[in-house]
């Protein structure tokens, strides 16, 4: 059995949203050792020397640069698992990501988003795509009539009550629960007005020590409003679908990879929100649950292929196909350094020192993602000035 180092973002230790993969490997007898990246809180990062002697190194969203141009030059079996929401695709066209993907050239990427799978293969990296579905446990569907909404206000800067208010305008909700528990680094939420509190019979919660209390609130609803503009996988809205709720979400990934608007949920354009038709939420919720049941069966059938992809050495996916050209190895970085080595995967590429570093930081730390509207225009201006001078 393989000794596997599992490098993961420490926030997932609380949410447990990435346990499904380590559990899959452990069920098959593999020795999976967890390494939690605390760098995003100012804590210690995971250093490459801690994981380099394992048979397989899996890096789930967080990663530990080996101090060289590419992982394949220092380890035969590295698997990176990106999350769609780390790229900020919903904010508009992306900048050139050559710097970000260069270290993974010649290694492997396991994707749970078809959009990122296409992005990965576009950079010539071996990628395996699978769509995750959790099991659809028996759901207790409330018998009362009417609309009952649930909204977890996690990101005021993405989906606020003001946005939800525009979607439900003209519809009568018998009850509406708002759960106030923001993501790390999220802005303070803006509360509904007293008029809205009365009109929609709004109740509010903050935090529960027992997750079952939160689950009970979701169970009482029949309309679930997805909390973020973009998801890595989207465990929370998938759980709502599995429970037969009509999920209302922005037309962004990964929600639009699971939901067909009007078939098993409702999607909306966050740039031009307008009132939605909630007249068929029971049918949509039933279809959502049916799609999760069917999807989970497909997921179980795909497990062996996923494990095989993880255990197979990286070079097996590149031999007799094509070769990557790498520049000379970059200088070794210090053990605690978190900025990834910005080396292009071609002999003619150059390193963009300030802009490349900003992009790398934006991929890893929430504060750089939140402040993107401030620094990104300045970054674009710097590029334009550089081009005009050259």
Q: Do you find a cis peptide bond into 309, omega within 30 degrees of 0?
A: no
Residues 87 and 167 reside in one and the same domain: no
Q: What's the whole-model pTM score?
A: 0.79
Q: Which of these three, 292, 325, 358, is where a domain ends?
A: 292
Last residue of a domain, one of 243, 259, 292: 292
Q: Where in the sequence is the domain holding 213, given as residue range(s)?
A: 147-292
pLDDT at 331: 43
- Indicate if 24 and 100 belong to the same structural domain: yes
Strands 108-111 and 246-250: unpaired
Is 320 inside a domain boundary?
Answer: yes
pLDDT tens-place string over residues 99-118 = 889 999 999 999 999 999 99
Instruction: Examine residue 297 and state whether it is found in any structural domain, yes or no.
Output: no
Q: Nearest 5°: CA angle at 130, between 34 and 55?
A: 35
Quick one: 106 and 242 in the same domain? Answer: no
* Distance of alpha carbon 367 from alpha carbon 371, whole angstroms: 6
Beta carbons of 340 and 333 less than 8 angstroms apart:
no
Residues 172 and 271 in one domain: yes
- Do 330 and 286 fall within a single domain? no
| 116 falls within a domain | yes
> Is the same domain home to 250 and 376?
no
Task: Answer yes or no: is 140 within a domain.
Answer: no
Q: Are residues 338 and 284 in the same domain?
A: no
273 and 228: one domain? yes
Same structural domain, 287 and 155: yes
Query: Cβ of 203: how many Cβ atoms within 10 Å?
Result: 13
Cα–Cα distances in angstroms (integers) from residue 264 to residues 238, 245, 282, in the given order: 12, 9, 10
Distance CA 153, CA 182 (A): 6
SS3 6: strand
Please give the pLDDT value at position 14: 81
Each residue's pLDDT tens digit in the chain (390 positions)?
Answer: 899 999 999 988 888 889 999 999 999 999 999 999 999 888 999 999 999 999 999 999 998 988 777 899 899 999 999 999 988 888 776 677 888 899 999 999 999 999 999 999 999 999 999 999 999 877 665 666 799 999 999 999 999 999 999 999 999 999 999 999 888 888 899 999 999 999 999 999 987 777 788 888 899 999 999 999 999 999 999 999 999 999 999 999 999 999 999 999 999 999 999 999 999 999 999 999 999 999 999 999 999 999 999 999 999 999 876 555 444 344 444 443 433 333 333 333 333 445 555 555 555 555 555 566 676 677 777 777 766 666
Instruction: Report pLDDT for 140.
Output: 62
Shared domain for 97 and 184, answered yes or no, is no
What are the structure tokens assigned to 289, written together?
């649950």
Residue 234 maps to a domain: yes
Which helix (H) or strand (E) segment holds residue 263: the answer is none
Q: Are residues 260 and 316 in the same domain?
A: no
Q: Which of 138, 54, 63 is nearest to 102 (CA)?
A: 63
Q: How many domains does the chain have?
A: 2
Do 77 and 199 sit in the same domain of this protein?
no
């Amino acid at each position: 059995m393989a000794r596997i180092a599992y490098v993961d973002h420490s926030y997932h230790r609380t949410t447990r949203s990435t346990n499904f993969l380590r559990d899959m490997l452990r069920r098959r007898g593999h020795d999976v050792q967890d390494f939690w990246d605390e760098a995003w809180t100012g804590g210690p990062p995971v250093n490459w020397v801690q994981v380099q002697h394992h048979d397989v190194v899996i890096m789930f969203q967080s990663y530990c640069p080996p101090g060289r141009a590419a992982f394949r030059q220092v380890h035969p079996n590295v698997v990176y698992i990106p999350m769609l929401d780390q790229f900020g695709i919903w904010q508009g066209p992306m900048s050139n990501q050559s710097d970000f993907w260069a270290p993974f050239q010649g290694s492997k990427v396991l994707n749970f988003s078809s959009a990122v799978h296409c992005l990965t293969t576009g950079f010539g990296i071996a990628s395996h795509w699978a769509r995750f579905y959790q099991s659809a446990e028996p759901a207790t569907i409330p018998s009362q009539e009417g609309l009952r909404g649930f909204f977890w206000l996690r990101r005021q800067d993405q989906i606020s009550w003001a946005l939800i208010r525009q979607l439900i305008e003209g519809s009568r909700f018998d009850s509406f629960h708002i759960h106030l528990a923001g993501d790390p680094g999220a802005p303070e939420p803006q509360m509904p007005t007293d008029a809205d509190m009365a009109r929609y019979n709004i109740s509010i919660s903050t935090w529960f020590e027992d997750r079952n209390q939160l689950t009970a609130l979701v169970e009482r609803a029949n309309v679930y409003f997805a909390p973020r503009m973009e998801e890595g996988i989207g465990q929370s809205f998938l759980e709502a679908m599995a429970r037969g709720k009509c999920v209302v979400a922005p037309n962004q990934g990964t929600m639009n990879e699971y939901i067909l608007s009007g078939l098993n949920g409702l999607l909306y354009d966050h740039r031009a929100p307008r009132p939605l038709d909630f007249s068929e939420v029971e049918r949509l919720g039933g279809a959502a649950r049916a799609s999760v049941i069917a999807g989970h069966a497909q997921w179980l059938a795909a497990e062996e292929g996923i494990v095989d992809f993880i255990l197979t050495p990286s070079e097996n996916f590149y031999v007799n196909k094509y070769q990557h050209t790498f520049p000379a190895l970059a200088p070794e970085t210090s053990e605690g350094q978190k900025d990834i080595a910005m080396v292009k995967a071609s002999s003619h590429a150059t390193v963009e020192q300030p802009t490349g570093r900003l992009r790398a930081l934006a991929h890893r730390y929430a504060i750089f993602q939140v402040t993107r509207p401030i620094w990104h225009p300045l970054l674009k201006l710097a590029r334009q000035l550089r081009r005009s001078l050259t």
